[in-house]
Structure 1
């Protein structure tokens, strides 16, 4: 599947793009509760941003709401989904089917957001052939063929750190330009390839820092010399 042009190519700031999924998540919750319209203030609170920033973000989509009424929830869901490319069906391959890969494969929230796990790939002979979430785990030797055969647009890397760059090089060589990386390593990719990194250990360390400060933990020592 051909990737759509990036929002940044149309003048939408990266910071705005990063917040659009927050708005979409809040809007989905409102739609499920039967909410037809929402004010910028209420949507901002639900998304955890300030209302002025939200209004500016949505103006990049051409959505300004109606004074005294607010935003139409259903239409705003459509606008944001279209901008993020979620009105299409994106085939995803998960490479690395350990505990994390299995959890991702079994996550039910992908389909409702426009993503379909189309392939599971691993190097372990003990894992290859397993049936997970209705998919047969295929061998890493078949990586390129599987990506092409299943029309994969996005690859999720849940491999050990030592294997991540090699797998990354192979998926890029076969034409994949969007990678979600869970491996604890920084990947080297061409400028045309988008990589989003998810490092749970770093997030936990940041939380530990804040917990320590809230508890009155150690401050930076002052050099008396």
Structure 2
């Protein structure tokens, strides 16, 4: 089967397709495919094989082909995937064709770095507003935006049509911030605070905890050290070679 552009109700290519009901694991991998595809496009390649794209994204090719089949993309035998078309399909599925407005709450060291991250704009997001509870930070210019007081959140969220909020506050303040975001109509939250948030049904939360990621890596380091210390382990094998 060849790759095709989804058709809309009028049957014309490029019409608005129905969004597929994707497995969560597939959704989690689509941004990796998109990152790889943009890099491939920048190198001047118009097509890419499933094996080449899988290698660039760090997954196996069978898993990639299954993921992309959910989007109606099957590639062309002997040719591969049309890079530009696949970028369009993934961006549509992820909703990145709408350039979503984002509110960032908490402009300490982490929040300040996030506010200045240029990668958001190139991936379909616009930091529309910055907030903090510290009056000393209110009015501070960061990357073209002035920090606002958290009390202005509801008004600004409505004016900027903000649906995504990023929490970069200390853990003690995160739940109050989440409550304020939800009250302002924000339905998706990216939480950098090291805590679990309680939100109503219909509000999606993604948690980014760098300490947890480091602890997981620590486990792998600990496991490798234990394996090398066992009789017949890697350390002994190295000595015996």
Same fold (TM over 0.5): yes
1:121 pairs with 2:137: no
Q: CA deviation at 1:89?
A: 1.6
Question: Which protein shows a greater Rg?
Answer: 2
Where do 5+ consecutive residues of structure 2 fail to align? 1-17, 230-241
Which residue pairs with 1:176 in the alignment?
A: 186
Please say which of residues 23-32 and 143-152 is displaced more in the overlay.
143-152
Which residue pairs with 2:91 in the alignment?
A: 81
1:167 pairs with 2:153: no
- Deviation >6 Å, runs of 4+: none
1:203 pairs with 2:213: yes
Deviation per CA, 1:39-96: give whole Å up to 9, x if none: 0011111111110110000000000000000001111111100000001120001000
Task: With a CA cutoff of 8 Å and minimum separation of 6, indicate the structure with the bigger relative contact order.
Answer: 1
Number of aligned residues: 212
The secondary structure found in structure 2 opposite 1:64 is coil
Which residue pairs with 2:29 in the alignment?
A: 19
Aligned equivalents of 1:200 and 1:99: distance in 2?
14
Task: Indicate which of 38, 48, 51 corresponds to 2:48.
Answer: 38
Aligned-pair RMSD on alpha carbons? Answer: 1.6
Where do 5+ consecutive residues of structure 1 fail to align? 1-5, 220-225
Task: Check whether the contact 1:121–1:139 (CA below 8 A) recurs between aligned residues.
Answer: yes
Task: Check whether the contact 1:182–1:197 (CA below 8 A) recurs between aligned residues.
Answer: yes
Aligned equivalents of 2:95 and 2:66: distance in 1?
20
1:47 pairs with 2:30: no
Q: CA deviation at 1:217?
A: 7.2
TM-score after normalising by structure 2 = 0.85
The secondary structure found in structure 2 opposite 1:110 is helix
Aligned equivalents of 1:90 and 1:151: distance in 2?
9
1:57 pairs with 2:67: yes
Which residue pairs with 2:15 in the alignment?
A: none
Deviation per CA, 1:118-153: give whole Å up to 9, x if none: 000001122111000000000111111121122211
The secondary structure found in structure 2 opposite 1:195 is strand
Q: CA deviation at 1:11?
A: 2.2
Which residue pairs with 2:5 in the alignment?
A: none
The secondary structure found in structure 2 opposite 1:188 is coil
TM-score after normalising by structure 1 = 0.91
Which residue pairs with 2:159 in the alignment?
A: 149
